[in-house]
Amino acid sequence: MRCPGSPARELEAVIINTAGGAAGGDRFDFDFTAGKGTSLVVTTAAAEKVYRTLGPETNIGVTLDVAAGATLSWLPQETILFDRARLSRTIDVTLAPDARLFLAEGIVFGRSGMGETVDEGTLFDRWRVRRGGRLIYAETVRLDGAISARLAQPAVAKGGIALATVLVVPGEQVAVEAVRALQDRFIGEVGASAWSGVAAVRLCAADGAALRHDLVHVMTALRGSLPRIWTN
């Protein structure tokens, strides 16, 4: 991990991705704490790749702890899954009652520009967010087996192969309206909603480039800026 740039109000930390990507049997655990009153942005140097495996899955665990009055933005670049990859990921966030969270995660099923498709594989993705000791957000996604066939279904992704979720805590209707005001600029499908102090944005696109285009617009509208490495 590196912290490039001069000291500023918001510290930006860049995770140096695993050389060559992640393979079956690999395990990576990321644990970040934003101390009282601090502001931390965590991103990655490039998109992470998860390769095919003939046996064990790849495991990634993310733990984020945000203290009183602190802000943490978890903004890694996309995760790219290859055909027959098996990824199990957990994201656990603990927030103080007045802490703030901005979280954005994108997954791309194969690099369409390289002619790659993900016909089969496994994705297990479990997120839990607690604020003041209370569970305020929980979701679990599981795709197993014929992934491309599942994504092709109209009720799933309607053929899209690039998905992302953005969470904002605290998040209100004003965040939803900011996203909806950009509908004419989006390439893929983008929907936003807010409830009980949480705002969520879902993105689905035909490929990774379209997803990144839309994600940049959403992040800029809601945060006001991007990590510097995203624009290099």
Write out the chain's pLDDT in tens, 232 residues: 566 665 667 889 999 876 568 988 999 999 999 999 999 999 998 899 999 998 899 999 999 999 999 999 999 999 999 999 999 999 999 999 999 999 999 999 988 777 778 899 999 999 999 999 999 999 999 999 899 999 999 988 899 999 999 999 999 999 999 999 999 999 999 999 999 999 999 999 999 999 999 999 999 999 998 988 887 7
**What is the radius of gyration, based on Cα positions, of the chain?**
17
> Which residues are paired to 13 by β-bridges?
42
Give the N- to C-terminal CA distance of the chain in Å, as an integer: 18
The domain in which residue 156 lies consists of 11-227
Residue 167 confidence (pLDDT) = 98
Is the residue at 155 inside a domain?
yes
Q: Is residue 197 part of a domain?
A: yes
Residue 69 lies in a domain: yes
Cα–Cα distance, 130 to 211 (Å, whole number): 28
In a domain, 93, yes or no: yes
Between CA 139 and CA 58 the distance in angstroms is 20
Is there a domain that residue 3 lies in?
Answer: no
Within a domain: 29: yes
pLDDT at 111: 82
Alpha-carbon span 121 to 81, nearest angstrom: 9
pLDDT at 1: 56
- Any residues with CB less than 8 A from the CB of 216 and at least 6 apart, and which? 226, 230
Q: Are 164 and 191 spatial neighbours (Cβ–Cβ below 8 Å)?
A: no
**Alpha helix positions (H), 1-106:** none
73 conformational bin, left if phi > 0, alpha if psi -120 to 50, beta if neither? beta
Q: Count the Cβ atoms, other than its own, within 10 Å of residue 42.
A: 22
DSSP 40: E
pLDDT at 55: 86
**pLDDT score recorded for residue 116:** 79
How far is 22 from 209, CA to CA, in rounded Å? 22
pLDDT at 6: 57
Domain assignment present for 119: yes
Query: Which of 163, 142, 141, 166 is CA-nearest to residue 207?
Result: 163
Is residue 2 included in any domain, yes or no? no
Split into its structural domains, the chain has a count of 1
Instruction: Pull the structure tokens for residue 5.
Output: 């740039």
